[in-house]
Amino acid sequence: MKIFIDPPNSLVLFDLVERFGHEPLSAMAAIQERVDNIEIDMPPMNVTLDDVVKGLKYAGVEVPSGVRGRLAVWGPMIEEAEAAIVMDECPYSFGCVGCERSNLMVKYLLKRRGIPVLHVDYPEDDAQATDLVARIKEFLEGLQ
């Protein structure tokens, strides 16, 4: 099954989803399409007119361009997904490389789609990490 991961470029989630036999939908694959097929200077920093139009489907024109740009890449993946895993409170999904508004929009879009979504917390110690792995394994095996 196709699993959307949030953060969409997370190494841990990408690896775990593949390890337990599913196909992760990640930002890397979406950006690779733009690197290989469309000759734009530096995706995802630079976008095409199509991306801007796609972004408008998920967020209004008054929303900051960073949110709309992110959703132009992530939105089609959310539509394609059959299930999703969301890691809450990731330190790197907020700040210079992240955007909290985009994260909230992603959670809203996932809820609106009505697909099975697993929310896990960013692990702070070994016990929480074990719980995270076990929870993800149980969720992914339950989808088969």
Q: Interface residues with another protein (CB under 8 A)?
A: 9-12, 14-16, 18-19, 26-29, 31-36, 41-43, 91-92, 96-97, 123, 125-126, 128-135, 137-138
Our CB check for another protein shows the closer of 57 and 137 to be: 137
Element (H, E) at 68: helix 65-80
Q: How far is the CB of 35 from another protein (least distance, A)?
A: 5
Bridge partners of 2, per DSSP, are: 23
CB 89 within 8 A of CB 95: no
Our CB check for another protein shows the closer of 61 and 99 to be: 99
Q: How far is the CB of 20 from another protein (least distance, A)?
A: 10
Q: How far is the CB of 105 from another protein (least distance, A)?
A: 20
Our CB check for another protein shows the closer of 41 and 62 to be: 41
**The dihedral of CA 104, 83, 24, 42: what is its sign?**
negative
Bridge partners of 99, per DSSP, are: none
Q: 114 in the Ramachandran plot: left (φ > 0), alpha (ψ -120 to 50) or beta?
A: left
Our CB check for another protein shows the closer of 113 and 139 to be: 139
